[in-house]
Structure 1
Amino acid sequence: MRYSGSAPFLAASAVIALGLTSCVGDDAEVDTGDTEAAEETELRFAHVYDPEHPVETCGVPAINDALEDSGLQISSYAAGQLGNEEELLEQVQSGALDLAVAGPSFLGVWEQNAELFDATYLFTDVDHFEETVNGDIAEDIWNDLRESSGLDVLSSWYYGTRHLTSDVEVTTSEDLSGKTLRVPEAPLYQTLAEVLGGSPTSMALGEVYLGLQQGTIDGQENPVPTIASNSFQEVQDYINLTGHVIQGVMVVGNQDALSGLPEDQQEALREATADAADEVRTCIEEEEESYLEEWADSGEIEINDDVDVDHFRERAAERIPDEFEWGDIYLEIQED
């Protein structure tokens, strides 16, 4: 546990916050001056994305709008204020944090099958992604995650479709031969880089701009909104529309803490995070379209849509099912 020094204090604070409305007995006569405020429970919600990201600008307001009159309210901590994704999940698991947003690869640390939702060319489009993460296969995985760790996935939000930026135009994997590609630090992403044809190297997202500018790395891959918010278009010549991962992130809570809420509030929270998924998807898709149109007009970065996606998809199919324990589930989702 990374927060060995502060976790007990945070956990106690979270318990106090969740139990605040029950501290006054039914027969006690206490003048709060504001009955509605006294009955409202605040839940702390944390993520690593910048304050302008749709998770914050679209997701958080949508949750709070849906929670109106429920007695619950979300207070958000953006941009990694409370830690990185791994640390946020540790805090939720320990009860020190109410809700966090984390990607499948990080959930895979707690339940290996969860990481498959980050797999290369798993989904055909965003509709296929939504059907799967809200379907029976995902439900089984989320149940296993809940039983093994106490982490409870309330909802899955579309994060974006990942594309490759580079200093060369990429049509097939041969174009990345000898090139260094930055990817997140996870075995699944190491395989992804090799499927795309590059040599994988791990690097913190905040260091990628300088790495591209100085030529330490030759390319990187991310959704369009992430590329834009980090200004990678300033230091790369091409965005190659590989569409290699249609990616989501999950809103995760602590099963024991959430079960301590009244049943109507538990249901309201689940419905609110599900409603917010629609808002986040709309915002992400609007940003994807807007940035690509802007770049096409400005020429700031050249958009390469002449990508042999079938070539990359076949390379993924040759490796992924055999390299990961959830390979059979990967094939089942593709067949669906």
Structure 2
Amino acid sequence: MTTLTTRRLLAATAIALCALPAAAETLRYAHVGAEGDIQTRFAAEAAEAIEAATDGEVSLQVFPASQLGNVAEMVDGVRMGSIQMGHHDFASLARIVPEMAVFNAPFIYRDGAHALAATDPETSPALQALNAELVENGGMRVIGRIYRGARHISSNFEIDEPADMEGKPFRAVPLDLWISMIKGMGATPTPVEVSELPTALMTGLVVGQENPLTMISANKLYEVQSHVAMTGHMQSVLAVFVNDDAWQGLEEDQREAITAALDEKAAQSLEWAQASEADLVDELTEAGMTFTTAETGLDLESFRTGVLAQIEADFPEYGEYIEQIMAVE
């Protein structure tokens, strides 16, 4: 074979290889949400949107309902790369960057739209600074968020003020921020994983908890709880995070397509939550739950004062970030 022929064959092979479609990349995506929760819908629809946006080059294999472990195990899995993506409260990343929990702090957002704006990875000064630390210290980064609704308190007795919770065991998400918040509400914080919550309520290990109405409905907590206090103490916004090595292994246009798809789903999650809350109040009332609101005697200011004082005492380092969050338009 002549040198010229060899060169032509090599060139033809190179052209043929370039014409081949890129190998599909499958990312394992884990979360702890149950069927019927907004976060579960988000993950399922985000997987479809990402596959479409990347022309099938990237797909997500979603593992809901703690299938790949509890929150700590899931975060560790993403950190190590055995799981590539996941979502949970920003505070679940506080073991790596303690200040990340500030995005779940109570009474810092004006409403759901403000919560999404203040947690936009592309524009939020506070998140950009803390994301850089998350990459450096944990090999992970936040690339999206989910609005899950305002969080309220459920119990098996009426709550109008923090004094009604005093000394009683209430479930706290097993994270320092939640423990501090429940303490600020006057109750005794009792850490319980979400997968164990219905049993903990049924057995009396805890007598109440706090979550969006979507979660109360999806997990049928109305079977073991009789009252809801509409405190709206947190605008529940979850972080979508990714292993940074897996992220950098994608092409730039793939990363852009994924973040655009996640951003669109974030906006839709706000619409879902806003549309569902009024319907959920009716649904849960019909299921036997009694609601207390500011109009019916719920003392929101006493909750706000007690909780913010406790957060300030326990987390003075949050002050600068809270100011930045509150300043976001």
Q: TM-score range with shorter-chain normalisation?
A: 0.7 to 0.9
Q: Which moved more, 1:147-156 or 1:39-48?
A: 39-48
Instruction: Give the secondary structure class of the aligned counterpart of 1:162.
Output: strand
Match of 1:177 among 163, 166, 187: 166
What is the rounded CA distance, in whole Å, between the counterparts of 2:239 and 2:280 in structure 1? 24
State the match for 2:35 in structure 1: 51
Give the match for residue 101 of structure 1: 87
Residue number in structure 1 paired with 2:319 = 327
Contact 2:108 2:326 in 1 (8 A): yes
Partner of 2:109: 123
TM-score computed with the length of structure 1 as normaliser: 0.83
8 Å CA contact 1:239–1:304 kept in 2: the answer is yes
| Residues 43-78 of structure 1: per-residue CA shift (max 9 Å, x gap) | 221111123332232443244235412522222111
| Residue 178 to residue 112, structure 1, CA distance change in 2 (3 Å) | closer
Distance between the aligned counterparts of 2:143 and 2:29, measured in 1? 13
Return the alpha-carbon distance in structure 2 between the equivalents of residues 207 and 40 of structure 1.
37
Q: Which residue of 2 aligns with 1:251?
A: 240
SS in 1 for 2:13: coil
Distance 1:113 1:170, change over 3 A: same
Contact 2:165 / 2:187 at 8 angstroms: preserved in 1?
yes
Higher Rg? 2
Letter aligned with residue 314 of structure 1? T
SS in 1 for 2:303: helix
Partner amino acid, structure 1, of 2:129:
D
Structure 2: gaps (5+ residues): 1-11
Q: Which amino acid aligns with 1:284?
A: A
1:280-295 equivalent positions in 2, closer than 5 A: 280-295=269-284
Say which is worse superposed, 224-233 or 323-332, in terms of deviation.
323-332
> Aligned partners of 2:282 and 2:85: how far apart in 1?
35
Aligned amino acid, residue 93 of structure 1: R
Residues 1:213 and 1:131: Cα distance change in structure 2 (over 3 Å): same
- Report the CA distance shift for 1:81/1:167 in structure 2 as closer, same or farther (over 3 A): closer
| From 82, 100, 108, the counterpart of 1:114 | 100
Separation of aligned partners in 2, 1:82 and 1:214:
26
Q: Does the Cα contact within 8 Å between 1:321 and 1:330 map onto a contact in 2?
A: no
Deviation at 1:109, TM superposition (A): 0.7
What is the alpha-carbon distance in structure 2 between the residues aligned to residue 209 and residue 150 of structure 1? 34
Q: Give the letter for the 2:105 counterpart.
A: A
* Cross-structure match for 1:304: 292
Give the count of matched residue pairs. Answer: 307
Say what the alpha-carbon RMSD is for the aligned residues: 2.5
CA displacement at 1:178 relative to structure 2: 3.0
Contact 1:63 1:273 in 2 (8 A): no
Q: Percent identity?
A: 26
**Where does 1:185-196 land on structure 2 (aligned, <5 Å)?**
185-196=174-185
Q: Contact 2:171–2:191 (CA<8 Å) still a contact in 1?
A: yes
The corresponding residue for 2:149 is 160
2:80 pairs with 1:87: no
| 2:240 partner amino acid | V
Per-residue deviation, residues 84-125 of structure 1 (Å, max 9, x unmatched): 222222222222222111221211111111011121212121
Using the size of structure 2 for normalisation, the TM-score is 0.85
Instruction: Report the residue type matching 1:57 in the other structure.
Output: R
Deviation at 1:276, TM superposition (A): 1.7
Corresponding letter in the other structure for 1:102: H
What pairs up with 1:7-86 in 2 under 5 angstroms? 27=13, 39-68=23-52, 69=55, 71-86=57-72
The answer to whether 1:315 aligns with 2:315 is no
SS state at 1:326 partner: helix
Query: Taking structure 1 as reference, are residues 254 and 212 closer, same or farther at Cα in structure 2, changes over 3 Å only?
Result: closer
